Structure 1
Amino acid sequence: MVTIKRQSWKTITALFLSILLFIPLFAPAAEAAPLLKPGSSNGDVWDLQYRLKTLDFYTQPLDGQYGPNTTAAVKRFQQEYGVPADGITGALTWRQLKKYTLNQAEMDIMAKVIYSEARGEPYKGQVAVGAVVMNRIQSSEFPNDIRGVVFQPRAFTAVDDGQYWLTPDRTAYLAAFDAVRGWDPTYESLYYFNPKTATSKWIWTRPQVVQIGNHIFAH
């Protein structure tokens, strides 16, 4: 995975707000991974552009048009993530996109997890929770999409007790963007727990990596 340096709070805020300005009225991206190429024009292109924009590969307004700017952004992504750089979004490119990026609806899920699980934690601790989610998506030990990871039975306390449905604040969204962009203060951890409240004996057997705020992160 390519690690992208954390940007300033103002830069990330500007990105987040700029993306919101271009959210269309339709729901982006179907579950399928259609072949997209120059000349394509639909909601799947909007989804593609959103994913590329979160990583700064695409810097233009989200318009759902697969033009030269989108083609160039796809090539840059392909080069960075080990896909033949032909500028066409086929199955392999979609696979990498879904492994290392989130679309707008999935970003909402990420923000909800972060807010419900870590809203009382320092900012770094909130990003860390998002990083664990991304690490699980990328791991063969867990489902390969955020819905599967988050709603896996007993995976997150906040889902079990209903706090997941609270409305996340702006900080949670900023932390979500940082986590998706590659900031991982957990050093590829797949688990975390609060040592003061953890009741699982199993979680204590995991190799501990770092403590951030009230959470211990582990492999």
Structure 2
Amino acid sequence: MNKKFITYSVAVIIVFMMTFGAPLEAANAAQPATLKVGSSGPDVPDLQYRLKTMGYFNTDVTTYFGTKTLESLKRFQKEYGLAADGVAGTQTWDTLKKVSANQKELDLLAKIIYAEARGESYKGQVAVGAVVMNRLSASGFPDSIRGVIEQPRAFTAVADGQYKLTPDKTAYQAAQDAVKGYDPTNGALYYFNPEIATSDWIWSRKQTVKIGRHIFAV
């Protein structure tokens, strides 16, 4: 192939990436739209699914913001100290993302629960999910479920590959309960197996409860 043609082609690709790459990245990273009664589009099912995982929205997820979505959203806003205006604006979205999960995030939560605690009781599995949700709401941790789970050295199962295993139905149920606020750890941000833990730091944390093989701490 002609070298001049290759050089020209590469230049065209670079110009295309410079011209369109940033806007595309910005669009992908954009905040969800402000939603209210009558709104439609891809952010509506995200909103409904998050409300559904928390027990506020009890019907099928759609792409339309109707009266059922309005009622569900207003209940959520009221219980979380927000203006109960039924409008999903920036503050509502920010709060919702710290205490809920969409479908992809629920998948990730079920995966880490299964990887870290599949040999534990149901309560022990929910406890692992609760730690993820507690970190999501706490300062000093990533602000997304994926970020919390995949933070370097945060969870052993991510590092050793068990995170890639397919979670079972119990792990998904545990994930849903953790998202709904069931927290048997009493607000724990960490947990460890005392039989294999070698870190002096983790032993220095205030312990909240022991469930199965794990000690939970803040």
By the TM > 0.5 criterion, same fold?
Answer: yes
**Separation in structure 2 between the aligned mates of residue 68 and residue 124 of structure 1, nearest angstrom:** 36
Q: Report the 3-state secondary structure (helix = DSSP H, G, I; strand = E; otherwise coil) of the residue aligned with 2:88.
A: coil
Q: What residue number does 2:190 align with?
A: 191
Which is higher, the Rg of structure 1 or of structure 2?
Answer: 2
CA-atom RMSD in angstroms: 1.2
Q: Report the 3-state secondary structure (helix = DSSP H, G, I; strand = E; otherwise coil) of the residue aligned with 1:144.
A: coil
**Separation in structure 1 between the aligned mates of residue 102 and residue 29 of structure 2, nearest angstrom:** 11
Tell me if structure 2 keeps the 8 A contact 1:30–1:44. no
Q: Tell me by how many angstroms 1:32 deviates.
A: 2.0
**Cα distance change, pair 151–208 in 1 and its aligned pair in 2 (3 A):** same
**Separation in structure 1 between the aligned mates of residue 99 and residue 174 of structure 2, nearest angstrom:** 16
Q: Tell me by how many angstroms 1:134 deviates.
A: 0.4
Q: What residue number does 2:169 align with?
A: 170
Q: Mapping of 1:145-184 within 5 angstroms?
A: 145-184=144-183
What 5-or-longer segments of structure 2 have no aligned partner? 1-27
TM-score normalized with structure 2 length: 0.85
Q: What residue number does 1:108 align with?
A: 107
Q: Tell me by how many angstroms 1:147 deviates.
A: 1.1
Is structure 2 residue 128 aligned with structure 1 residue 129?
yes
Aligned residues: 191
Tell me if structure 2 keeps the 8 A contact 1:37–1:88. yes
**Separation in structure 2 between the aligned mates of residue 218 and residue 115 of structure 1, nearest angstrom:** 20
Q: Report the 3-state secondary structure (helix = DSSP H, G, I; strand = E; otherwise coil) of the residue aligned with 1:88.
A: coil
**Separation in structure 2 between the aligned mates of residue 217 and residue 57 of structure 1, nearest angstrom:** 29
**Separation in structure 2 between the aligned mates of residue 82 and residue 167 of structure 1, nearest angstrom:** 37
Q: What residue number does 2:142 align with?
A: 143
Q: Report the 3-state secondary structure (helix = DSSP H, G, I; strand = E; otherwise coil) of the residue aligned with 1:160.
A: helix
Is structure 2 residue 23 aligned with structure 1 residue 33?
no
What 5-or-longer segments of structure 1 have no aligned partner? 1-28
- Between the aligned residues of both structures, percent identity stands at 61
Q: Tell me by how many angstroms 1:63 deviates.
A: 1.1
